[in-house]
Amino acid sequence: MNLLTPYWSLDILIVSSSLMIAVYLYASWKLKYWSRRGIMQITPSPLFGNFKKCILFQKSVSEIIRELYGQNEGLPFMGFYIFYKPFFLVRDIELVKHILVKDFNTFANKHTSADSKNDRIGYSNLFIIKNPAWKYLRGKLTSVFTSGKLKKMFDLMLIIGKNLEKHLELLNLDGNGKEVELKDLCANFTTDLIGTTAFGVNLNSLKDPNSDFRENGRLVFDYNLKRAFEFFSIFFFPNLNKYFSVKFFGKATDYFRNSFWSVINQRIESNVKRNDLIDCLIELREKHKNDESFEGFRFDGDDLVSQAAIFFTGGFETSSTTISFTLYELALNKDIQKTVRTEIHEALAQTDGKITYDMITNLPYLDMVVSETLRKYPPLGFLDRVALHDYKIPNSDVTIDKDTPVIIPMIAFHYDPKYFPNPEKYDPLRFSEEVKKTRPSYVYMPFGEGPHICIGMRLGLLQSKLGIIEILKDYEVSPCEKTKIPMVLDPKGLTTTALGGLYLNIRKITIAAG
């Protein structure tokens, strides 16, 4: 019995054609989600939406977001698509303030997420955990990063600083100097810093850059195709993570679990108190060992150790990129490099050549330099939130539907000439007190803003400044044959990463400070 016609082949052709038309019409309908709501959208391409070049690893996420932002000048917001999924892009500064601060309860959670069942160590960390556990954890862990705690940590940081000095001396950088890959060197330094300050362990990454800890740290941010896909899924399509066994910490997951539990157990057995992150986690574990009132979150197992894993990875990666990108820009801007070095030498002359906490936090030009680096190279180029319920935009007839991902294009604000004239130019004076007063709030936020602002911001800045000082006080950086001018960022990287490493020539200067 034939279905539609006397010929099976014709039936198959009719049915397949009908299915193709139905799929096309459904896809076209999906890609008009924003236009049906009267919201501006850039015409998306079939299948890829507005992220084709990103999905094909031709451009980074940050570059695509900057392009979308630039195509809608004057509009307060717009819609775009990744594949067929609609995302909401915010351009208006006042709306940014509402989402991040004033109406925080509506946007308290990030859209980013890991699989809660198969990747608890990824799902439960402070970076992406959901309320109410996030709010409680945030309040408790904040105490680890007070000014008083940072001052106590600083003596430990100075030991790692001395190790960096010794390492550079062993490289024999006299005369014309040598070509050095800065990104990995800086990551070895910051890995040792976060190890000693937050966990009380000496990782010796500067001496042994191929140690297990350092190798697993590299694995987290190893942007091969598989890792790029995993991060893309976690940030933009978290519901797919369970189907592809995506892990937030990738291949390093089991190593981090075992290593950090070992550190926690050793601290418990030794009964030594350091008032660091490990002590805080042990205290939370003891206090809440029978408490399961935070929607399934437990202060034990992967839920607890995930906090150590995120502080370790975030602690070494963001600071190392800040140091290396700063040195890159200073190599290209010799006058700025000279001014920074002069400020450092003058400060060291007042402290008999000793780097102190008060000295490092009172170098205004260095602070401007680091701020300008973070403007051009924020560790992550965007902020993401998700609407927990329907949200009517103030002074508008537009409603953001529940569960809609919201993207705040931080990198686009940083490069908007309206806020930062001639944005491609590296100009630390943008961050003088006089100039800062002329800029609106919420256009510069490399560490985020509002209740979700990076909890380790002050520690990260302290680590970055220490690394810059340790190098610049005795060495000059300049471009070499492998230096990429202009900078080329890895299109597979979700975080801001130099493609193929970051190479500079480092030469010991003849008159060293102290």
Annotated binding residues: 454
Query: What is the C-alpha separation between 155 and 135, in angstroms, rounded?
Result: 31
Which residue numbers belong to the known binding site for heme?
454
To the nearest 10 degrees (0 to 180), the angle between helices 301-332 and 364-376 is 110
- What is the DSSP secondary-structure string of 463-495? HHHHHHHHHHTTEEEE--TT--SS--B-TT-SB
Instruction: Give the DSSP letter of residue 440.
Output: P
Residues 435 and 133 sit within 8 Å (Cβ to Cβ)? no
Sign of CA dihedral 355, 214, 285, 113: positive
Strands (DSSP E) along 49-177, which ranges? 77-82, 85-90
Taking only Cα atoms into account, the Rg of the chain, rounded to an integer number of angstroms, comes to 25
Query: What is the C-alpha separation between 242 and 67, in angstroms, rounded?
Result: 31
Give me the residues paired with residue 179 across strands.
505
Name the percent of the chain in helix, strand, coil, to the closest 5. Answer: 55, 10, 40
Please give the helix or strand (H or E) that residue 406 lies within, else none: strand 405-408
Nearest CA to 284 among 266, 262, 253, 308? 308
- Phi, psi (rounded to 5 degrees) for 506: -120, 125
